[in-house]
Amino acid sequence: MSVSGITSKPLPIPGSPKPGIGYFIREWWGSYPVTQLAVLIGLIGIFWVMGSNMVQTMHRLGIQPGFAFLSQSANFAIGESLIAYLPSDTFGRAAIVGLLNTIAIAVSGCFLATLLGVSLGIARLSGNMLLSGLVRWYIEIIRNTPLLLQLFFWSAVTHALPAPRQAFNPIGILYLSNRGVSIPALRLHELSLTTLAISGVCIAAIFAFYMVRRKRGIQHGITEFSAMGLLAVLGIGLALRLSGASVALELPLLRGFNIAGGFNLTPEFAALLIGLVVNSSATIAEIVRSGIQSVPSGQWESARSLGLQPGRIMRLVILPQALRVIVPLMTSSYLDLTKNSSLAVAIGFPDLVSVLNTTANQSGQALEALAIIVLSYLALNLSVSAVMNKYNKRIEQRGFLPR
Amino acid sequence: MRAEKNRPHGWRTKIAAGLVAAATLFTGFAHAGPTLDKIKQRGTIKVGVGTSPGFFAPDGSGKWQGFFVEFGRALAITVFNDPDKVEFTSSSPQQRLPALQSGEFDILLSGVTVTITRAFKLGFHFGPTIFYDGQGLLVNKSLGVTKGSDLDGATIGVQSGTTGELNIADFFRKSDHKFTPVTIEDSNEFLKALESGRVDALTQDASDLALRRTLLKNPDDYILLPERLSKEPLAPAIAAGDDRWLEIVNWTVNATIQAEEFGITKDNIDTFLTSEDPAIKRFLGTDPSLGEAIGLDPKFAYNIVKTLGNYGEIFERTIGKGSPVGFERGYNQPWTQGGLLYSPPFR
């Protein structure tokens, strides 16, 4: 229970015979075995009572526990979806639609928040008083107001855009209205396995070429990379031509009530994305600032004495060292952003929580829906953590004994 | 550092504390008996409501007012003979059903539509329908829309967790038209979506839309289409498993309906106390045998009508012609006048 209870434990003396079974039992129980037992029994008791209460209530209400409802028809429509979805599809598919929407927000949010946050963090340390002052105000205002309020603000901003019939249409192909942003989209027609196979082979060949050259120690510059990119595009073009598939540009057009065609980014998605990015960028800016300031000033001075320019000092000397401080904190920012995306429910974006709340409400399986939400966020955040930890391993200080 | 120094209490104290904590938790969870027991023990009825002025909204002094709210008061009169022993809490349509399931509310008087799914799969019991409604569409006049099928390709605001969310999907599926839903939980955001032009129309129970229309900045720019997409009988909902509580809800509502049928009002009720009509004597409890037999205060119907009035009076006061809302009675009048309200006999 107390810290001293752990540290004052007798450690096995090196070289002495292996500790017996008794040692392990004592180790496990700690210094207060009776208390441990009481707490354990208490905990089991609480969960037992809660569980039996739940089962009883469900039985009384006549609710069948289980996940069978996921294969029943959902019957409600969802406003935006990355995969095809109709009201006649199942609750399970609806949940996947919600999950994909959440992932889309989380991934694009983390990416954009990093770009904005890092730039703001560096700007905060700028010698230009106006710039650093502005950034400071930005950070203070964003960090000290509730995220939900900010989301309502962005939602109001996106809704204040003109109606579709009076849409802002600067260059003829881009529509900005209170129905969102519509831009031309590339549509593939008659896509077949052959197309995919040929393009796959082309890209694999280019990649293999690159790897072989890299093994030989050849440096790749911007020219080589653009050449390879061009080759890849040509390869895909060839694949489309050979397999009879075609690419067409679909332009957004005002039709009836809405702007139809093209790729549409809804105001709800935009409001949520802007809200989350702006909010996280303030935190990330502070993380980046503290990371940079954690690098000893001697590093700046020695880099400057080598004749490096300020931009290169930042990029080559300071940031690589600052990253060791920044990355672990950044992980928690990403996790926050992912979890905060559940506020989407308030501004009408059909994310995981919104879809599953409706599912719970229409099917009556509230606990199951809750379990799916919990497990999905857990899986999502654990994967973010895993990726970030892997990256952290790569950049952490080397040449020291592991701590 | 010596270990003894860091031990503030002996192990006996710790076990005792643990046991006390565990015992407290156990007693906290042990009572999950029928709803009525909980209500009597607590001394108030917990009612879940919505937020539409006329149906349910707090007035200037924070006291809840409205058509559905009055039925909550009537229940408090039946159970406690005190119209104020009731606690109203607003809940979003999405949250209200799980909240009722989990026992957070004793009853929902938030305009819940009776459906077979809710009765069987969600484990709810419904009292008598207290408001017959249908789903409507509220649209901006400038769109020139006159019927639901004109809305092909439109963007429509729906409130999540309502039957409206399902009905609108059915409506467009049936006609093979397309629409884009914007599903909003918060009722203020729901209204703002129409006002800002984010959606072309809102869909919801027609009465509710009529009430919300008055909250818009320029109500005259919007029109509630005469078409009704569905039947929406709105009734009190309770969690299944407490028959006695259900009967109390049933007969409380029936009392207001029966009073109107008898022609008994808040003002003239005392003149009926001397009535020799055996049905009226049973109803008002001047013949106490019925009340004793059912285990309620024999005068519960008298108390309700004396305090709140009959169904018609409640309707007129909160949402009828005498109120700012100004609804027609429509189906919501006694069967004797061509409506759907019909109370089983008090016998």
Question: B216-234: per-residue pLDDT in tens?
Answer: 888 889 999 988 999 999 9
Cα separation of B94 and A366, whole Å? 11
Percent above pLDDT 70 for chain B = 90
In angstroms, what separates the C-alpha of B69 from chain A's closest C-alpha? 23
In angstroms, what separates the C-alpha of A3 from chain B's closest C-alpha? 9
Encode A238-275: b = buried (16+ Cβ within 10 Å), e = exposed: ebbeebebeeeeeebebeebbbbbbebebbbbbbbbbb
Task: Identify which of B101, B100, B133, B99 has the alpha carbon closest to the alpha carbon of residue B114.
Answer: B133
Band the pLDDT of A127: cuts 50, 70, 90: confident
Tell me whether residues A159 and B118 touch, CB distance under 8 A.
no
The secondary structure of B260-324 as a DSSP string is HHHT--TTTGGGGGG---HHHHHHHTSSTHHHHHHTS-TTHHHHHHHHH--HHHHHHHHTSTTSS
Is residue A124 one of the residues assigned to a domain? Answer: yes
Is residue A166 one of the residues assigned to a domain? Answer: no
B 36-75 residues with CB below 8 A of A?
A: none
CB B106 within 8 A of CB B154: no
The predicted model gives B147-174 an average pLDDT of: 89
Stretch among A3-7, A314-318, B180-184 having the lowest mean pLDDT: A3-7
Amino acid identity of residue B121, one-letter, is K
Cα separation of A284 and A278, whole Å? 10
Q: Give which of B121, B142, B195 to mutate to test A binding, by max A Cβ within 10 Å.
A: B121
In this complex, the residue of A75, A156, A354 whose CB is nearest that of residue B160 is: A354
Query: Is a pLDDT exceeding 90 seen at residue A84?
Result: no
Tell me whether residues A53 and B117 touch, CB distance under 8 A.
no
DSSP letter for A168, please.
Answer: B
Cα separation of B315 and B253, whole Å? 13
- Number of DSSP helices (H) and strands (E) in chain B, helices first: 13, 13
CB A90 within 8 A of CB A72: yes
Cα separation of A244 and A190, whole Å? 7
Structurally, chain A folds into a number of domains equal to: 1
Which residue from A minimizes the CA distance to B97?
A361
Q: Quick one: tokens of A64?
A: 């069948």
In angstroms, what separates the C-alpha of A348 from chain B's closest C-alpha? 4
Tell me whether residues B161 and A361 touch, CB distance under 8 A.
yes
Stretch among A387-401, B34-48, B168-182 having the lowest mean pLDDT: A387-401
Cα separation of B36 and A110, whole Å? 51
In angstroms, what separates the C-alpha of B83 from chain A's closest C-alpha? 29
Tell me whether residues B120 and A62 touch, CB distance under 8 A.
yes
In this complex, the residue of B14, B118, B186 whose CB is nearest that of residue A32 is: B14
Query: Is a pLDDT exceeding 90 seen at residue B157?
Result: yes
Residues of A in contact with B160 (CB under 8 A): 345, 354, 357-358, 361
Q: Give which of B120, B126, B140, B198 to mutate to test A binding, by max A Cβ within 10 Å.
A: B198
In this complex, the residue of B101, B118, B183 whose CB is nearest that of residue A348 is: B183
Cα separation of A58 and B309, whole Å? 38
Is residue A392 one of the residues assigned to a domain? Answer: yes
Residues of A in contact with B179 (CB under 8 A): 77
Amino acid identity of residue A228, one-letter, is M
Q: How far is CA B330 from CA A76, B210, B255, B333, in A?
A: 30, 14, 20, 7
* B23–A contact, CB cutoff 8 A: no
Among A302-306, B140-144, B157-161, the range of highest mean pLDDT: A302-306
Query: Is a pLDDT exceeding 80 seen at residue A172?
Result: no
In angstroms, what separates the C-alpha of A359 from chain B's closest C-alpha? 8
Q: Quick one: tokens of B149?
A: 């099928």
The predicted model gives A46-51 an average pLDDT of: 92
Cα separation of B97 and B237, whole Å? 9
pLDDT score recorded for residue A10: 56
Is residue A169 one of the residues assigned to a domain? Answer: no
Q: What residue spans of B106-242 are helical by DSSP H?
A: 116-120, 163-174, 187-195, 206-213
Cα separation of A178 and A267, whole Å? 7
CB B77 within 8 A of CB B297: no
- Cα A108 from chain centre: 7
Tell me whether residues B183 and A46 touch, CB distance under 8 A.
no
Query: Is a pLDDT exceeding 60 seen at residue B10?
Result: no
In angstroms, what separates the C-alpha of A391 from chain B's closest C-alpha? 38
If one compares A251 and A336, the residue with the highest pLDDT of the two is A336
Band the pLDDT of B64: cuts 50, 70, 90: very high
Band the pLDDT of B26: cuts 50, 70, 90: very low
B 285-324 residues with CB below 8 A of A?
A: none
In this complex, the residue of B123, B165, B179 whose CB is nearest that of residue A62 is: B123
Tell me whether residues B18 and A257 touch, CB distance under 8 A.
no
* B11–A contact, CB cutoff 8 A: yes
Q: Quick one: tokens of A153?
A: 């603000």
CB B221 within 8 A of CB B174: no
Stretch among A69-78, A232-241, A343-352 having the lowest mean pLDDT: A232-241
What is the residue-averaged pLDDT of chain B?
86
Q: Where are the beta strands (DSSP E) in A200-262?
A: 246-250, 253-255, 258-260
pLDDT score recorded for residue A9: 53
CB A323 within 8 A of CB A395: yes
Is residue A387 one of the residues assigned to a domain? Answer: yes
Which residue from A minimizes the CA distance to B96?
A361
CB pairs < 8 Å spanning A and B? 183
Q: Quick one: tokens of A238?
A: 């060839």
Tell me whether residues B169 and A360 touch, CB distance under 8 A.
no
Cα separation of A360 and A380, whole Å? 21
* B90–A contact, CB cutoff 8 A: no
Task: Identify which of A101, A136, A106, A125 has the alpha carbon closest to the alpha carbon of residue A280.
Answer: A106
In this complex, the residue of A38, A163, A345 whose CB is nearest that of residue B18 is: A38
CB A246 within 8 A of CB A299: no
Query: Is a pLDDT exceeding 90 seen at residue B293?
Result: no
Residue B238, phi-psi category: left (phi > 0), alpha (psi -120 to 50), beta (remainder): beta
pTM: 0.77
Query: Residue B88: beta bridge partners?
Result: B47
β-strand B86-90 against A246-250: which pairing, if any?
unpaired
In this complex, the residue of A35, A361, A366 whose CB is nearest that of residue B14 is: A35
pLDDT score recorded for residue B300: 93
> What does the CA dihedral B195, B201, B202, B207 come to, rounded to 10 degrees?
100
The predicted model gives A109-132 an average pLDDT of: 92
Tell me whether residues B18 and A178 touch, CB distance under 8 A.
no
* B239–A contact, CB cutoff 8 A: yes
Residues of B in contact with A45 (CB under 8 A): 22, 25-26
CB A347 within 8 A of CB A155: yes
Residues of A in contact with B221 (CB under 8 A): none
In this complex, the residue of A8, A39, A364 whose CB is nearest that of residue B1 is: A8
Which residue from B minimizes the CA distance to A48?
B26
pLDDT score recorded for residue B324: 83
Band the pLDDT of A13: cuts 50, 70, 90: low
Cα separation of B318 and B308, whole Å? 11
Is residue A252 one of the residues assigned to a domain? Answer: no
Band the pLDDT of A402: cuts 50, 70, 90: low
Band the pLDDT of A15: cuts 50, 70, 90: low
Domain at A378, CATH number: 1.10.3720.10
Cα separation of A359 and A336, whole Å? 25
B 107-166 residues with CB below 8 A of A?
A: 117-118, 120-124, 143, 151-155, 158, 160-161, 165-166
| Structural domain boundaries enclosing A390 | 91-160+267-398
Residues of A in contact with B26 (CB under 8 A): 45, 49
Is residue A126 one of the residues assigned to a domain? Answer: yes
Cα separation of A266 and B167, whole Å? 24
CB A252 within 8 A of CB A86: no
Element spanning B133, H or E: strand B131-133
Is residue A70 one of the residues assigned to a domain? Answer: no
β-strand A253-255 against B57-58: which pairing, if any?
unpaired
* B33–A contact, CB cutoff 8 A: no
In angstroms, what separates the C-alpha of B29 from chain A's closest C-alpha? 7
Cα separation of B112 and B162, whole Å? 8
Query: Is a pLDDT exceeding 80 seen at residue B309?
Result: yes
Query: Is a pLDDT exceeding 70 seen at residue B8?
Result: no
In angstroms, what separates the C-alpha of B112 from chain A's closest C-alpha? 12
Q: How far is CA A291 from CA A118, A284, A286, in A?
A: 11, 10, 8
Tell me whether residues B182 and A348 touch, CB distance under 8 A.
yes
User: What string of H, E and C letters represents the secondary structure of A80-98?
Assistant: CCCCCCCCCCEHHHHHHHH
